Amino acid sequence: MYPRYQTAMLSAYYPNTTTSFLDFRVEEPEQFYGSDMLSQISSGKVFMVNSRKRNGLILFKRYHAEFAGPGAAVGGDYDRDCIRILPIGKRQDLLLPDDTFEERQKGYLIRRQWVRLIKQITENPDPQQRVQKILDQFEQYFPTGMVQQLPDEAFAMLVGVLPQTVAIVRRFGEDGEI
Protein backbone atom coordinates (compact mmCIF):
# COMPACT_ATOMS: atom_id res chain seq x y z
CA MET A 1 0.00 0.00 0.00
CA TYR A 2 1.32 3.43 -0.93
CA PRO A 3 1.19 6.29 1.57
CA ARG A 4 -0.94 9.30 0.72
CA TYR A 5 0.97 12.55 0.56
CA GLN A 6 -0.46 15.69 2.00
CA THR A 7 0.60 19.16 0.92
CA ALA A 8 2.43 19.85 4.18
CA MET A 9 4.71 16.91 3.40
CA LEU A 10 5.78 18.50 0.12
CA SER A 11 7.51 21.42 1.78
CA ALA A 12 10.87 19.64 1.55
CA TYR A 13 10.70 20.15 -2.21
CA TYR A 14 10.18 23.87 -1.80
CA PRO A 15 12.71 24.85 0.87
CA ASN A 16 12.44 28.58 0.19
CA THR A 17 8.67 28.76 0.14
CA THR A 18 5.82 28.37 2.55
CA THR A 19 3.46 25.42 2.42
CA SER A 20 0.43 27.63 2.87
CA PHE A 21 -0.19 27.76 -0.87
CA LEU A 22 -3.91 27.64 -0.24
CA ASP A 23 -3.67 31.20 1.02
CA PHE A 24 -2.77 32.49 -2.46
CA ARG A 25 -5.24 34.90 -3.94
CA VAL A 26 -5.61 35.97 -7.51
CA GLU A 27 -6.60 39.41 -8.80
CA GLU A 28 -7.74 41.26 -5.65
CA PRO A 29 -5.78 39.99 -2.64
CA GLU A 30 -6.52 42.98 -0.44
CA GLN A 31 -10.27 42.45 -0.77
CA PHE A 32 -10.31 38.68 -0.33
CA TYR A 33 -11.55 37.18 2.89
CA GLY A 34 -11.39 33.44 2.30
CA SER A 35 -13.11 32.57 5.54
CA ASP A 36 -16.21 34.52 4.41
CA MET A 37 -16.53 32.61 1.18
CA LEU A 38 -15.57 29.29 2.75
CA SER A 39 -18.16 29.68 5.49
CA GLN A 40 -20.81 30.56 2.88
CA ILE A 41 -20.03 27.48 0.81
CA SER A 42 -19.70 25.19 3.83
CA SER A 43 -23.01 26.41 5.26
CA GLY A 44 -25.04 24.02 3.14
CA LYS A 45 -26.63 26.79 1.11
CA VAL A 46 -26.25 26.60 -2.68
CA PHE A 47 -24.69 29.48 -4.63
CA MET A 48 -23.97 30.03 -8.29
CA VAL A 49 -20.66 31.24 -9.70
CA ASN A 50 -21.56 34.41 -11.58
CA SER A 51 -21.97 33.44 -15.23
CA ARG A 52 -21.66 36.98 -16.54
CA LYS A 53 -17.97 37.29 -15.69
CA ARG A 54 -14.82 35.33 -16.47
CA ASN A 55 -14.20 33.98 -13.03
CA GLY A 56 -14.33 30.79 -11.05
CA LEU A 57 -13.35 28.99 -7.89
CA ILE A 58 -10.83 26.30 -7.16
CA LEU A 59 -12.33 24.33 -4.30
CA PHE A 60 -9.76 22.44 -2.27
CA LYS A 61 -10.86 19.23 -0.68
CA ARG A 62 -8.66 17.04 1.50
CA TYR A 63 -6.81 15.18 -1.28
CA HIS A 64 -7.83 16.95 -4.48
CA ALA A 65 -9.21 20.17 -5.90
CA GLU A 66 -12.18 20.92 -8.13
CA PHE A 67 -12.80 23.84 -10.45
CA ALA A 68 -16.20 25.51 -10.59
CA GLY A 69 -16.45 27.95 -13.46
CA PRO A 70 -19.11 30.48 -14.43
CA GLY A 71 -22.63 29.21 -13.98
CA ALA A 72 -21.64 26.31 -11.76
CA ALA A 73 -23.42 25.53 -8.52
CA VAL A 74 -21.27 25.47 -5.39
CA GLY A 75 -22.08 24.75 -1.80
CA GLY A 76 -24.86 22.55 -0.52
CA ASP A 77 -24.02 19.08 0.68
CA TYR A 78 -21.63 18.63 -2.24
CA ASP A 79 -19.02 21.06 -0.91
CA ARG A 80 -19.30 20.67 2.87
CA ASP A 81 -15.84 19.03 2.84
CA CYS A 82 -14.21 22.04 1.22
CA ILE A 83 -11.21 23.20 3.27
CA ARG A 84 -9.98 26.18 1.21
CA ILE A 85 -11.11 28.26 -1.73
CA LEU A 86 -9.10 30.07 -4.36
CA PRO A 87 -11.22 32.61 -6.24
CA ILE A 88 -10.08 33.43 -9.76
CA GLY A 89 -11.11 36.79 -11.18
CA LYS A 90 -12.97 39.62 -9.53
CA ARG A 91 -14.32 38.73 -6.12
CA GLN A 92 -17.13 41.25 -6.37
CA ASP A 93 -20.37 39.43 -7.19
CA LEU A 94 -18.51 36.14 -7.69
CA LEU A 95 -21.11 34.11 -5.79
CA LEU A 96 -24.79 34.67 -6.36
CA PRO A 97 -27.65 32.99 -4.49
CA ASP A 98 -29.74 30.60 -6.54
CA ASP A 99 -33.31 31.83 -6.77
CA THR A 100 -35.16 28.96 -8.36
CA PHE A 101 -35.09 25.19 -8.66
CA GLU A 102 -34.39 25.56 -12.39
CA GLU A 103 -31.33 27.75 -11.73
CA ARG A 104 -30.00 25.24 -9.22
CA GLN A 105 -30.55 22.35 -11.61
CA LYS A 106 -28.79 24.22 -14.43
CA GLY A 107 -25.95 25.12 -12.04
CA TYR A 108 -25.39 21.49 -11.12
CA LEU A 109 -25.34 20.51 -14.81
CA ILE A 110 -22.71 23.18 -15.47
CA ARG A 111 -20.68 22.04 -12.45
CA ARG A 112 -20.81 18.50 -13.83
CA GLN A 113 -19.44 19.77 -17.16
CA TRP A 114 -16.48 21.36 -15.37
CA VAL A 115 -15.86 18.12 -13.46
CA ARG A 116 -15.98 16.14 -16.71
CA LEU A 117 -13.46 18.47 -18.35
CA ILE A 118 -10.99 17.95 -15.51
CA LYS A 119 -11.70 14.20 -15.55
CA GLN A 120 -10.83 14.03 -19.26
CA ILE A 121 -7.54 15.76 -18.55
CA THR A 122 -6.67 13.48 -15.63
CA GLU A 123 -7.30 10.34 -17.68
CA ASN A 124 -4.06 11.01 -19.57
CA PRO A 125 -1.40 8.73 -18.04
CA ASP A 126 1.44 11.23 -18.65
CA PRO A 127 1.63 13.75 -15.77
CA GLN A 128 3.37 16.42 -17.82
CA GLN A 129 0.74 16.22 -20.54
CA ARG A 130 -1.99 16.56 -17.88
CA VAL A 131 -0.32 19.69 -16.56
CA GLN A 132 0.11 21.18 -20.03
CA LYS A 133 -3.54 20.49 -20.87
CA ILE A 134 -4.89 22.12 -17.69
CA LEU A 135 -2.62 25.13 -18.21
CA ASP A 136 -3.82 25.41 -21.83
CA GLN A 137 -7.46 25.22 -20.73
CA PHE A 138 -7.03 27.91 -18.09
CA GLU A 139 -5.08 30.17 -20.48
CA GLN A 140 -7.86 29.88 -23.07
CA TYR A 141 -10.37 31.11 -20.55
CA PHE A 142 -8.47 33.49 -18.26
CA PRO A 143 -5.81 36.11 -19.05
CA THR A 144 -2.30 34.64 -19.09
CA GLY A 145 -1.13 36.91 -16.27
CA MET A 146 -3.93 35.69 -14.05
CA VAL A 147 -3.08 32.05 -14.75
CA GLN A 148 0.59 32.70 -14.01
CA GLN A 149 -0.38 33.97 -10.54
CA LEU A 150 -2.04 30.68 -9.64
CA PRO A 151 0.21 28.48 -7.50
CA ASP A 152 1.66 25.25 -8.87
CA GLU A 153 -0.02 23.38 -6.05
CA ALA A 154 -3.48 24.41 -7.22
CA PHE A 155 -2.94 22.89 -10.67
CA ALA A 156 -1.26 19.85 -9.10
CA MET A 157 -4.30 19.12 -6.96
CA LEU A 158 -6.65 19.61 -9.92
CA VAL A 159 -4.96 17.01 -12.14
CA GLY A 160 -3.29 14.69 -9.63
CA VAL A 161 0.40 15.45 -10.04
CA LEU A 162 3.15 16.73 -7.78
CA PRO A 163 3.68 20.50 -7.63
CA GLN A 164 7.22 19.96 -8.95
CA THR A 165 5.75 18.57 -12.17
CA VAL A 166 3.71 21.76 -12.64
CA ALA A 167 6.80 23.89 -11.98
CA ILE A 168 8.83 21.92 -14.55
CA VAL A 169 6.14 22.17 -17.21
CA ARG A 170 5.66 25.88 -16.56
CA ARG A 171 9.37 26.50 -16.86
CA PHE A 172 10.48 24.07 -19.58
CA GLY A 173 7.30 23.02 -21.38
CA GLU A 174 5.55 19.69 -21.70
CA ASP A 175 8.75 17.78 -22.53
CA GLY A 176 10.38 19.00 -19.32
CA GLU A 177 13.79 19.11 -20.95
CA ILE A 178 16.20 21.20 -18.96
56 occurs within a structural domain:
yes
Does residue 68 sit within a domain? Answer: yes
Residue 140 burial (10 A CB sphere; 0-12, 13-18, 19+) = exposed
Cα separation, 68 vs 143, in Å, equals 17
161 part of a folded domain: yes
What local confidence, expressed as pLDDT, does residue 89 receive?
A: 85
Indicate the pLDDT class of residue 3, thresholds 50, 70 and 90. very low
In angstroms, the Cα distances linking 18 to 10, 28, 71, 88, 172 are 10, 20, 33, 21, 23
> Do residues 72 and 114 make contact, with C-beta atoms less than 8 angstroms apart?
yes
Q: How many domains does the chain have?
A: 1
Residue 9 lies in a domain: no
State the pTM of this model. 0.77
Is residue 115 situated within a structural domain?
yes
More confidently predicted of 19 and 55: 55
Residue 29 lies in a domain: yes
Number of other CB atoms surrounding residue 75 within 10 Å: 23
Model pLDDT for residues 118-153, shown as the tens digit of each residue: 999 999 999 999 999 999 999 998 999 999 999 999
51-85: pLDDT as tens digits: 888 899 999 999 999 999 999 999 988 899 999 99
- What whole-number distance in Å separates Cα of residue 171 and Cα of residue 133? 15
CA gap 135, 46 in Å, rounded: 28
Report yes or no on 137 lying in a domain.
Answer: yes
Least confident among 44-48, 106-110, 112-116 = 44-48
Is 133 among the domain residues? yes
Q: pLDDT tens for residues 160-174?
A: 999 999 999 999 876
Q: Which domain holds residue 101?
A: 22-172
- In the predicted structure, residue 28 carries a pLDDT above the cut 90: no
> Over the chain, what is the mean pLDDT?
82
Q: Which residues pair with 47 in a beta bridge?
A: 74, 97
